[in-house]
Structure 1
Amino acid sequence: MYDSYTQAPASFSRVFTPGRLSVGLLTPLEAYPESPFPTLVEHQRMAQLTEQAGFASIWLRDVPFYDPNFGDAAQMLDPLVYAGYLAAVTSEITLGTAGIVLPLREPISVAKQAVSVDQLTQGRFLLGLSTGDRPVEYPAFNVDFDSRAELYREGIEYIRYMHETRFPRVQTTHYGKLLGNLDLHPKPVNQRLPIIAVGRSRQPIDWLARNVDAWIWSVDDDNAIASILADLKRAAGEALAPAYGYSTFFDLDPDPDAPYQRFYNVVRIGRKALTERLLQHQALGVSHVALNLKPSSRPAQAVIEEMGEYVLPALQQENL
């Protein structure tokens, strides 16, 4: 945890700053409402367009397998490999994972891959970690699904040691041990790599408040947001509470005057109501909103361009 947001690197403060709400996009950067599989056509150009439009971040999901019962293969590419590719075709936008399914991964490899992307992006990477939302994947990795909460906590602690300590000494229960004779190199560009909890990951609020820099969940109800933020602040005590953001499936209505509507987990809304809603959530204390364009009825380029022309400038103007 940072002692203050002024200590946080630009990669973090671009996305999470008190009193200011930013907007990001989840990959794949396209609409594919009728298929579980995206095309990834022109995905390099779409990433560059997202950056040019003024979005704060691009988030990459970790979906090892296609589960027909779930119905979404995400961007299909490994998120950390893909982040390395996006590092070469973008220059300013923050790149993050949302999130690496940590109990299914070996923490040393995650630590090494994450710091590699951090170096390739010159410090504009955020490491988002989750326990995943597809229980069927756990048997494929021979990992006990009921142990995921403990694996998650210990995995984050192990990564922190490797990133932030020279020649660490640490003994883990589920992973390995470091005896002080090995050191992970390189270290993060900004001394430490921000860690984002993605989803609840079966962790209590008190643990999240003490161990992560920000939390992205799916809860966007006004009353629930106020409660979450109050709980985080209480649990953090005198320390800085993690920033809070949420993600949602998103369909920008072509009618700019269209009101807010929710269809199960999809938000459909016109740009005027969207701007008002985002400003309302900013006032509540939300720091970031990550939008998933999968269910969009319009091409992603049209949505990105409209957001860049109208919605994002309105947020920036409010924050001047």
Structure 2
Amino acid sequence: MTPLAPASSPVDKPSPSDAGLAHHPGFQRLFRPGELTVGLILPLETHPRRPAPTMAGHLQMARRAEQLGFGALWMRDVPFYDPAYGDVGQVYEPMVYMAYLAAATTSIVLGTAGIVLPTREPLILAKQATSLDQLSGGRLVLGLSSGDRTSDYPMFGIDFASRGERYREAHGVLRSVTEERFPVYASEHFGRAGGSLELVPRPAFGRIPSIAVGRSQQSLAWLASHLDGHLAFVPTPEDLAPLARLWRTEVALAAGEAAFKPLGIGGFFDLSDDPDEPFQRIHGGFRAGRNGLRDYLLLAREAGVSHMALNPKVSRQPYAEIMDQLSESVLPVFPALA
């Protein structure tokens, strides 16, 4: 077989600006300049001292989150239980679980936070993503990470040190097959396409938004050039403005001053019994009262943050009570977008 030209490599294709996502329902429900929305990282169950949730009543809780007006449900990609980490996420495989939730909900965004891209076969992931985007009516936002669990990689026969390179390559293949008709490309790890095959189904609204979860072993400049947005670890109040300013600068350099590529933040959230307790750093996230959270989100919105993904699994209250408190004090100020 004659090798395809290096110029056909899928790695170096920059992402277009948000103009390509102007009609994507999921993207538009979460992200708009000057606005901030709130989503929940699954499971919708508090279990601060246990590695795994029971997943009891999880479908009813997802419907409740939609009814209350949360913008998104985010699913993590944790294939194995590693006692050294002590956390298995929402137990179920995220792409399968999203399909189940898509059939039980109508408007809430379904996102991944994030798929560990270097361990995924991008052609299969592309087929799953376009199918989910079609079946959900364009509610999929694909968050992509490089993963930080060193114990997972040997199970897949992949060198942990290669995850940054594999992330770039897999992302390029994913974009090529979902956005191009009969694509032509060559990749080192994920095959080649000669222009005779086309992925079906196609994305429901032209293309599927993909955001970087964490830095994914990439430079911020590369993320700003190739992804549609960035979900960062929740910063302190003092670091909100510098983080947002840095991201805006990189987006402007990559895509122009008028480009909008949203910045989101996320992490564990412990809801304090004191409603006025301000932001306090905890391992993996922060603690605050409902009013303290609202004050923090006001600062985040002013800085230019577009979305907050909360994971209250470490909280002590029942999850339903947490959602009710947030729906009363936070969501009226930061509603999901029409």
Fold-level similarity (TM above 0.5): yes
1:86-145 per-position Cα deviation (integer Å, ceiling 9, x unaligned): 001110000001111011110001100111111110111011111112011001100011
Residue aligning to 2:59? 44
Distance 1:269 1:234, change over 3 A: closer
In the alignment, structure 1 residue 182 sits paired with structure 2 residue 219: no
State the SS of the aligned residue for 2:330.
helix
Corresponding position of 1:193: 208
| 1:60 alignment partner AA | M
Residues 229 and 258 (structure 1 numbering): CA distance in 2 closer, same or farther, change over 3 Å? closer
Q: Secondary structure at the match of 1:38?
A: coil
Q: Which moved more, 1:226-235 or 1:291-300?
A: 226-235
Q: Find the counterpart in structure 2 of residue 107 from structure 1.
A: 122
Amino acid at match of 1:296: S
* Residue of structure 1 equivalent to 2:11: none
CA deviation string 1:34-69 (max 9, x = no partner): 100100000000000111111100000000111100
Aligned residue pairs, count: 319
Matched position secondary structure for 2:157: coil
Distance 2:68 2:44 in 1: 13
Under a length normalisation based on structure 1, what TM-score does the superposition of the two structures give? 0.95
Residue in structure 1 matching 2:276, options 248, 253, 257: 257
1:192-227 deviation line (CA, Å, top 9, x unaligned): 000011111010011011111111111422443333
Q: Once superposed, which parts of structure 1, at least 4 consecutive aligned residues long, lie more than 6 Å away?
A: none
Structure 2 match to 1:301: 320
In the alignment, the residues of structure 1 paired with residue 53 and residue 234 of structure 2 have an alpha-carbon distance, to the nearest angstrom, of 26
| 1:23 shift after superposition | 0.5
Tell me the CA shift for residue 8 of structure 1.
4.9
Show the counterpart of 2:134. Answer: 119
AA at the equivalent of 1:257: D
- The 1:37/1:215 distance shift into structure 2, 3 A limit, reads same
CA–CA distance in structure 2, aligned partners of residues 177 and 316 of structure 1: 43
Structure 1 residue runs of 5 or longer lacking an equivalent are: none
The answer (yes or no) to whether the contact 2:38–2:334 under 8 Å persists in 1 is: no
Q: Is the 8 A contact 1:266 1:295 kept in 2?
A: no
Structure 1 residues 128-207: aligned runs within 5 Å: 128-207=143-222
Q: Which residue of 2 aligns with 1:243?
A: 262
Partner letter of residue 17 of structure 2? D
Q: Distance in 1 between matches of 2:24 and 2:86?
A: 36
Q: Which residue of 1 aligns with 2:224?
A: 209
Q: Secondary structure at the match of 2:148?
A: coil
What is the CA-CA distance between 1:266 and the residue it aligns to? 3.8
Any conservation in 1 of the 2:237–2:279 contact (CA below 8 Å)?
no
User: Structure 1 residue 255: deviation in Å?
Assistant: 3.0
Counterpart for residue 286 of structure 1: 305
The CA deviation at 1:4 is 4.3
| 1:268 and 2:283 are equivalent in the alignment | no
Secondary structure of the corresponding residue to residue 118 of structure 1 = helix
- 1:233 is displaced (CA, Å) by 2.6
| TM-score (norm: length of structure 2) | 0.90
1:7 pairs, out of 17, 22, 47, with 22
Q: Please, which of 31, 37, 47 is the counterpart of residue 32 of structure 1?
A: 47
Does the 8 Å contact 1:53/1:309 carry over to 2?
no
Query: How far apart in 2 are the matches of 1:207 and 1:228?
Result: 16
Q: Which amino acid aligns with 2:306?
A: S
- Taking the aligned partners of 1:46 and 1:159, their CA distance within structure 2 comes to 32
CA 1:265–1:88: 2 relative to 1, 3 Å = same
TM-superposed deviation, 1:262: 2.4
Q: Given that residues 18 and 261 in structure 2 are in contact (C-alpha distance below 8 angstroms), is that contact kept between their aligned partners in structure 1?
A: no
1:59 paired with 2:78, answer: no
- Tell me how far 1:174 sits from its aligned partner: 1.3
Find the aligned partners of 1:225 and 1:273 in 2 and give their Cα distance: 15
CA displacement, residues 20-39 of structure 1 (integer Å, 9 cap, x when unaligned): 11110011111001100100
2:5 alignment counterpart: none
2: CA distance, partners of 1:107 / 1:144: 17
Tell me how far apart the structure 2 counterparts of residues 203 and 300 of structure 1 sit (CA, whole Å). Answer: 35
Residue 212 of structure 2 contacts residue 231 of structure 2 at CA under 8 Å; is this kept in 1? yes
Contact 1:2–1:8 under 8 Å retained in 2: no
Counterpart of 1:224 in structure 2 is 239
d(CA) in 2 for partners of 1:229 and 1:34?
33
Unpaired segments of 5 or more residues in structure 2?
A: 1-14
Distance 2:273 2:68 in 1: 18
CA distance in 2, matches of 1:306, 1:149: 40
Secondary structure of the 1:25 match is: strand
